[in-house]
Amino acid sequence: MRTTTTGGPAGPPVDAPPVDRDAVLAALGTVRDPELDQGLTELGFVASLEIEGDTVRAHLRLPTYFCAPNFAYLMVADADAAVRAVPGVRQAEVVLDDHFTSDEINAGIAQRRSFQESFEGLADDELDELRTLFRRKTLVARQQRLERALLDGGTTKEELGRLKLGDLPPSPELDTYLQRRAELGLDVGPEAPLVIDTAGNPIPPELLEDHLRFARVTRVSIEGNAGFCRGMLATRYDLPTPTVVAD
């Protein structure tokens, strides 16, 4: 089943140039698997993309037939919204293929139904709480990447606990970490502490060692799951086997 959505009532003029493919791919790349904290394009979850004038059709695929429906719904809904927001797009068609709830998800997105409405009698709640839970986990993992780089560079654990965001040099990893903090409504100002819990509270010195251990386990778990999913996707669709880099 395919889903069709329509953008603004006026739309682009008839002689407008085709929608930019790179812009659509970039938009899809901003949509993350909530558990893996990686974009759909990076993970290989975008199976195909067709653009005809101001109409965009995207097919999504997942590593297994039985991937969790709530995660799948989140990704399709977010992908649909991301594509429709690309300049020039008047019609967007986002399709989830080869999933045991494809029909329910695709119909729900097409008719602007919530997750509960799409799975009436089966879904107990909406997905905001689930999204927040995984945002907290990814915050911890992203923070640990920065901590690891600093410790490898000679920063002591005592110094690490005193660092503020403004003490770190600009980097793509820092930008991503700040984005994850902002998504949770946490302080991203230069005077905010680097090492925090998921509520934004600084970690006391006596708890720093346990925090660092927990953060590393969280990061390794997320990255391991991402590698596993890539391998499953490659096996399912006969794709090149991804290279796994050991920590």
Does residue 45 register a pLDDT over 90? yes
Does residue 83 register a pLDDT over 60? yes
CA distances from 222 to 33, 196, 199 (A): 11, 19, 20
pLDDT score of 124: 67
Which of the pair, 14 or 225, is modelled with greater confidence? 225
Residue 247 has, within 13 A of its CA and on its CB side, a CA count of 13
Domains of the chain, with CATH numbers?
Answer: 5-118 (3.30.300.130), 128-225 (no CATH)
Does residue 13 register a pLDDT over 60? no
- Average pLDDT value over all residues in the chain: 91
Determine the average pLDDT of the residues in 202-216.
96
Determine the average pLDDT of the residues in 19-37.
96
Its pTM stands at 0.86
Does residue 14 register a pLDDT over 80? no
Does residue 188 register a pLDDT over 90? yes
Determine the average pLDDT of the residues in 75-87.
97
CA distances from 139 to 5, 50, 158, 165, 217 (A): 32, 34, 21, 14, 13
pLDDT score of 15: 61
pLDDT score of 116: 87
Report yes or no: 223 and 37 within 8 Å, Cβ to Cβ: no
Sign for the pseudo-dihedral over CA of 238, 64, 110, 112: negative
